[in-house]
Amino acid sequence: MAVQDLLYDWQVWSYFAVLTWALQKQLRRASLSSISVAAALVAITWTYILRYTTAYKLAGGQNLFDDAYADVLQAPHDRNSCQLLTWVVVATVWCRHEPAELLWTGMLGAMSAAFALTPPAMPRRSTRVPLAYVVCSILALLAVQRLPDLATTDAVAFGVVLKALHLLLVAPRWLPSFGRSFDEAGVYAVLGVLIACRRDRIACWPATDCQKSIFVDLVACAVVSADAVRRDRGPT
């Protein structure tokens, strides 16, 4: 498939239709400073993505979504990428009170840009987390655990698990919790322990354009998280 053929792909049009819908809803509530930061992050990450996409299509690639993720999950860079994926799992719980477009912008655009536009508030006291979020978060972490191995051993299973991971991030907003919920601090503690057991770390510098894009997103998400803690604590 030639690069220009993407213009006639219904999946591409659907992708950008949802992204445009989510982004314009976020922009209505965002400040000029947050828009500037988000625009800079999108410009950096998407420069790499578009350059990767062009080279991929010129080489005859047919499964851009799956292959792009397979690229960033190649060892040893998989340990970098999995840090962002596990961050997103926790961030899904963190932003559960925010409008759904935050996650859609993040998944389809750039997580750091989405959270820069709409930094979720950090409640002063622990609240309750619905059962659906807890179950989906644990299943999402299991999906992240499986992806690096499947990327090199089973392309079909990799695609299924990858799409299941994205579904698990948004599903809790519509799944029933049957009146069950858990203390927020306890949920974060459990997720933190599970993620810490992975012992992920910055294993290497990114080598491909896709890896560079997700690495920038990872670093920016870390900064967004640190800034949220700083704002919650107030001036020191």
pLDDT of residue 201: 79
Q: Which two tokens stand for residue 139?
A: 């299943």
d(Cα 51, Cα 22) in Å, to the nearest integer? 24
Tell me the per-residue pLDDT of 35-60, one tens digit each, with 9 for 90 and over.
Answer: 999 999 999 999 999 999 999 888 88
- Residue-wise pLDDT for 181-218, tens only, equals 999 999 999 999 999 998 887 778 999 999 999 999 99
Q: To 10 degrees, what angle do helices 64-72 and 32-58 make?
A: 100
Residue with tokens 């389809």: 108
**Spatial distance between the Cα atoms of 17 and 82, rounded to a whole number of angstroms:** 27
Q: Return the percentage of the chain with pLDDT > 70, whole number.
A: 92
pTM: 0.88
Reading the block at residue 19, the tokens are 């992204």
Q: What is d(CA 171, CA 26) in angstroms, rounded to the nearest whole number?
A: 20
Side chain identity, residue 154: D
Give the pLDDT confidence score for residue 230 in this predicted structure: 78
∠ CA 99-220-163, nearest 5°, is 55
Residue 236: predicted pLDDT: 47
Mean pLDDT over residues 157-176, rounded? 95
Is 165 a residue whose pLDDT tops 90? yes
Average pLDDT, the chain: 89
Give the pLDDT of residue 231. Answer: 74
Residue 235 predicted with pLDDT over 70: no
Beta bridge partners of 129: 182
Structure tokens at 44: 């950096």
List the one residue out of 104, 106, 67 whose CA is nearest residue 211.
67
- Report the candidate in 144, 170, 172 with the shortest Cα–Cα distance to residue 87: 144
Q: What is the mean pLDDT of residues 96-106?
A: 90
